[in-house]
């Protein structure tokens, strides 16, 4: 483990100051929030910023609140608080579940939702859960303020579409429709779900009164270069009446959506199998939360 390299440290009191610090760094500045990833990356030499901008002192970037049309989560909100939120659990189970199994309790107490999404890990827990919930990220930088669907933020392993001066400020999760359910599950290296995901899947589903799938989203983790949608699996479901057979067919289709690599933690084949198993599991849970019985 290497020692931290030389860098300048900033504690801005406002977003304007933080953006100015990043501009002055000329593209080699990094934002720190919880620091659970950045400090490790700096110690092993994966990242070597010349400036570290600590935004923890900026007001209004943390907290969970109900607003018109949905829930706002500040980017500096600790993952622990998201997992403990009754409001989020009642409306977006996938997000609540993902937050509750991310890493370990000490990490969840430090890690922030903005940092977790901004890290753009292919194995992200919160990324897929936010994707299936239709979450929108608010971003501000030297080019002004913008909004992006969370699923559109990812550009590749560890990379987003955001610029060097951009800061994620909050996430908006729209209120779900009436017959809606979502769920998240993963298999971790230790089998307990508390380690980095070997594979993870989030799913959400909206059902009509007759059990028809009005809409659905399935998102995969550790099954491709980024957290990503599973279009083939979604296509199997959409417009059809929910049943155990339909869920099995969608889970089988998820195997074709998966694009995993093999590494020292798991083979590509094993991860592909997990894509099917976990998709079936989360779809079943999501349908039950939507208030439907699964017929055989």
* pLDDT tens digits, 128-174: 999 999 999 999 999 999 999 999 999 999 999 999 999 999 999 99
Q: 180-289 sits in which CATH class?
A: alpha beta
Task: Using pLDDT thresholds of 50, 70 and 90, give the confidence band for residue 46.
Answer: confident
* pLDDT tens digits, 73-103: 999 999 999 999 999 999 999 999 999 999 8
* Extents of the domains making up the chain: 8-54, 64-174, 180-289
pLDDT above 90: residue 204? yes
Task: Using pLDDT thresholds of 50, 70 and 90, give the confidence band for residue 191.
Answer: very low
pLDDT above 90: percentage of residues in the chain: 81
Q: 64-174 sits in which CATH class?
A: alpha beta
As a whole number of angstroms, the distance between CA 180 and CA 199 comes to: 24
* pLDDT tens digits, 249-271: 999 999 999 999 998 889 999 99
**50 vs 284, residue with greater confidence:** 284
Helix, strand, coil distribution of the chain in percent, nearest 5:
35, 25, 40
**175 vs 37, residue with greater confidence:** 175
As a whole number of angstroms, the distance between CA 285 and CA 90 comes to: 14
Q: Selecting from 3.40.640.10, 3.30.450.30, 3.40.50.300, 3.30.43.10, what CATH number does the domain 8-54 have?
A: 3.30.43.10
Q: Looking at residue 3, what is its pLDDT?
A: 67
Q: Looking at residue 2, what is its pLDDT?
A: 59
């Amino acid at each position: 483990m290497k020692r931290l390299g030389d860098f300048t440290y900033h504690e801005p009191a406002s977003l304007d100051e933080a953006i100015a610090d990043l501009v002055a760094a000329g593209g080699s500045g990094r934002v720190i929030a919880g620091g659970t990833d950045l400090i490790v990356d700096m110690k092993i030499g994966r990242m070597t910023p010349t400036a570290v901008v600590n935004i923890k002192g900026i007001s209004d970037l943390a907290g969970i609140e109900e607003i018109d049309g949905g829930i706002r989560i500040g980017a500096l909100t600790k993952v622990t608080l998201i997992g403990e939120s009754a409001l989020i659990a009642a409306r977006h189970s996938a997000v609540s579940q993902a937050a509750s199994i991310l890493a370990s309790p000490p990490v969840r107490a430090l890690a922030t939702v903005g940092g977790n999404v901004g890290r753009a890990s292919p194995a992200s827990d919160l990324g897929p859960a936010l994707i299936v919930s239709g979450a929108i990220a608010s971003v501000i930088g030297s080019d002004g303020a913008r909004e992006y669907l969370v699923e559109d933020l990812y550009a590749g392993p560890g990379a987003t579409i955001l610029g060097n001066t951009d800061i994620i400020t909050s996430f908006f999760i729209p209120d779900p429709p009436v017959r809606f359910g979502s769920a998240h599950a993963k298999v971790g290296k230790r089998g307990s779900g508390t380690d980095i995901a070997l594979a993870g899947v989030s799913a959400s589903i909206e059902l009509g009164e007759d059990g028809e799938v009005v809409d659905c989203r399935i998102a995969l983790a550790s099954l491709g270069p980024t957290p990503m949608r599973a279009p083939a699996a979604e296509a199997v479901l959409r417009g059809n009446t929910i049943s155990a057979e339909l869920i099995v067919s969608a889970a089988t289709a998820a195997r074709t959506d998966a694009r995993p690599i093999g590494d020292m933690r798991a083979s590509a084949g094993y991860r592909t199998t997990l894509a099917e198993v976990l998709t079936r599991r989360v779809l079943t849970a999501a349908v039950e939360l939507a208030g439907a019985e699964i017929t055989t």
